[in-house]
Every structure is written in C-alpha cells, then in structure tokens.
C-alpha cells in the first residue's frame, strides 16, 4: 500500500510540463473540520515545496495515514491528489517542508493563535508511528473497516465514538447534523451536548462521581462515550474543538479514541491507558479539552452524518 501511494504521487509530481495541484490539510483538530486548501504554482514557495517533497520522497520520509501519530493536537499535513491518494508529511526530518506547507495556507484561513501553535508543534518534531505493536481497542478485530485508509481520512472521533461510518462522499461526523441541527460556533459544551442529543445520544450523568455502568443485558445495544470540549482561548483564536472517548466494555474498563484522521488508540497524551476520560491527559500543544459529560449511544437509532465532501 505504501509503495503504491508514493508511486502515484511521484508520477503526478514528475509529469513533464504539468504543475500538479494538491489538496492540503493540516491535522490538528479531532472533531471539527481541519483547515484545508489548494496547493498549486500560485501558492507561496511552491517550487521549494516541490523540491523538498521530492527529497522527502527519495529519503523515504513520506508516510501513510496509518503512520499518523494518534495524539490530540498536531499530527502532520495530509496531501492528496484528489484521487483517494493520501500522503502524510510529519517528523523531524521534514520540518522545513512542513513549515513551508503551513506558510502556503491562504491568508486569513488560520488565526494568529493557531499559526503560532502549529509552528511550535512542527518545530517540536512529532514523529510518525512506524509500528503499532498492540491492538488499539478490543472492538477492533482483524479486517475491521476502521483500519481502511479512506475510513481513517473521512471519519473522526465522533464517528468512532458512535460506531457510525460517514456515508459515501461525506466527511467526518458533525454532532447534530444527523438530527437536523448541527452545532454552532464558537464551540461550547452546551451546544455540543445538545447537538449530540439531537443525534439520539443520551446524557448519562455520573452518580456519586463514578463512571456510569450500562446494565449487562443492554450492552449489546448500547455503549458509553465521554464528551470533552475545548473552548476558544479568546474570541477569534479559533482553537476550539470537541472530542469523544469510547468505553470498551470487554477491555478491563479501558477507553479508546480516534483523534481526527489518525488510527484508533487506547492511550492518552502521556501514553497511559485511559481508565477514566475525565482525567485523560491532553497534548500540551493541542486543544485544551475539558470533560463535559458521559453519554449513552443507542446503537440501533443513533444518527450521525458528515458534510458532503468530494474527496470522501
């Protein structure tokens, strides 16, 4: 799979007389749509980006979505040729390429706060995951569609939390869209929670400070999730987001989650198993997620949809 992706992009990149156009997205948010734009010869530093891309390709420093670090925060850039071919650019050895990709974003697309955060994260040099030695969750059997590259790209934490894949040509799930009224900006715990309720999720309070328990006879038809919300640092910062954790009932009380387009993981920002999402550790350079509420997902009635997206 990896070789095929690189050959496809390489052929596009080196067509004589053709100046390729790429779709670029920066992976930072987990729930809401990540910033995306077109990269073509009119973009700043296009020639240098193309040259550094070629160097990265020859030195095997380009990766697939399966190599994306499963963290809440910056996870790299995804480049696509618009034909279901996705290349991940991340890691210390391509820092300059990542910085130029960031600079190629149209003026005004990224807030000054987000630009600063992303620049710092790039310089920190988060690395791709080259091997995954453990199963990411107990509900992740061999051949499961959550391992498919297209599924990784077009589904987010909300899709995974509710166990609902986005329909063909629809991007990542947005709370409320399936129920008829998607959440509004800026993101707040109340509007996210209310939007999820429209999608048929059920608020399930913790009683006595304990994680709610779904009766055993209901576990086949429903499961527990946890909503965490990051609100804007200040008006206009545009660093707000939401995220969902899912309880794997047959995994010793551990939780799993899918940060954005990355693979599913059972670890938090400190690489610890997630035993209580209320105290799961965030990435210091990622959104400041704060626990809001537990909710129950009734599997047979929940409605989750994403926006129409031609690349999904």
Q: Output the pLDDT for position 199.
A: 98
CA separation for the pair 80, 100 (Å, rounded): 17
Peptide bond into 77 cis (omega under 30): no
Angle between helices 112-124 and 95-103 (to 10 degrees): 170
- Give the closest residue to 223 by CA, choosing from 212, 207, 235: 212
Reading the chain (312 residues) residue by residue, the pLDDT tens digits are 444 444 444 444 443 334 578 899 999 999 999 999 999 999 999 999 999 999 999 999 999 999 999 999 999 999 998 767 899 999 999 999 999 999 999 999 999 999 999 999 999 999 999 875 544 444 554 456 777 888 899 899 999 999 999 887 778 999 999 999 999 999 999 999 999 999 999 999 998 889 998 887 788 899 999 999 999 999 999 999 999 999 986 567 899 999 999 999 999 999 999 999 999 999 999 999 999 999 999 999 999 998 887 667
Sequence-distant (6+) residues with CB within 8 A of 308 are 169, 170, 171
Q: Output the pLDDT for position 140.
A: 52
CB atoms within 10 A of CB 158: 30
Sequence-distant (6+) residues with CB within 8 A of 58 are none
- Give the closest residue to 156 by CA, choosing from 175, 137, 176, 180: 175
- Sort 254 into a burial class: Cβ within 10 Å, 0-12 / 13-18 / 19+: middle
46 within 8 A of 54, measured Cβ to Cβ: no
CA separation for the pair 172, 144 (Å, rounded): 18
Q: Output the pLDDT for position 144.
A: 61
Q: Output the pLDDT for position 218.
A: 83
CB atoms within 10 A of CB 141: 10
End-to-end CA distance of the chain: 18
- Give the closest residue to 261 by CA, choosing from 137, 91, 146, 124: 146
The CA distances from residue 95 to 35, 67, 288, 306, in Å, are: 19, 17, 24, 32
**What does pTM read for this prediction?**
0.89
Residue whose structure tokens are 């040099």: 125
74 within 8 A of 134, measured Cβ to Cβ: no
């Amino acid at each position: 799979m990896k070789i095929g992706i690189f050959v496809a992009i390489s052929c596009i990149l080196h067509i004589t007389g053709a100046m390729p156009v790429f779709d670029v997205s920066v992976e930072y948010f987990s729930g809401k749509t990540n910033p995306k734009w077109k990269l073509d010869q009119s973009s700043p530093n296009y020639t240098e980006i193309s040259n550094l891309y070629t160097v990265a390709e020859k030195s095997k420093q380009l990766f697939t979505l399966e190599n994306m670090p499963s963290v809440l925060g910056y996870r790299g850039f995804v480049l696509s040729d618009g034909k279901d071919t996705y290349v991940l650019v991340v890691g210390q050895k391509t820092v300059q390429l990542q910085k130029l990709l960031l600079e190629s974003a149209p003026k005004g697309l990224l807030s000054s706060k987000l630009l600063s955060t992303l620049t710092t994260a790039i310089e920190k040099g988060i690395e791709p995951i080259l091997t995954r030695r453990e199963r990411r969750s107990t509900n992740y059997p061999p051949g499961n569609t959550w391992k498919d590259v297209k599924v990784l790209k077009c589904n987010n934490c909300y899709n995974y939390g509710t166990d609902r894949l986005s329909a063909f040509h629809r991007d990542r799930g947005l709370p409320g869209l399936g129920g008829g009224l998607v959440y509004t900006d800026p993101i707040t715990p109340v509007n996210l929670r209310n939007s999820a309720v429209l999608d048929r999720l059920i608020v399930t309070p913790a009683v006595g400070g304990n994680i709610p328990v779904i009766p055993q006879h209901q576990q086949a038809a429903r499961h527990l999730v946890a909503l965490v919300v990051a609100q804007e640092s200040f008006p206009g910062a545009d660093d707000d987001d939401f995220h969902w954790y899912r309880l794997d009932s047959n995994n010793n009380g551990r939780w799993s989650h899918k940060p954005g387009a990355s693979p599913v993981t059972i670890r938090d920002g400190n690489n610890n198993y997630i035993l209580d999402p209320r105290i799961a550790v965030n990435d210091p350079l990622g959104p400041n997620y704060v626990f809001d509420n537990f909710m129950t997902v009734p599997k047979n009635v929940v409605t989750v949809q994403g926006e129409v997206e031609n690349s999904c």
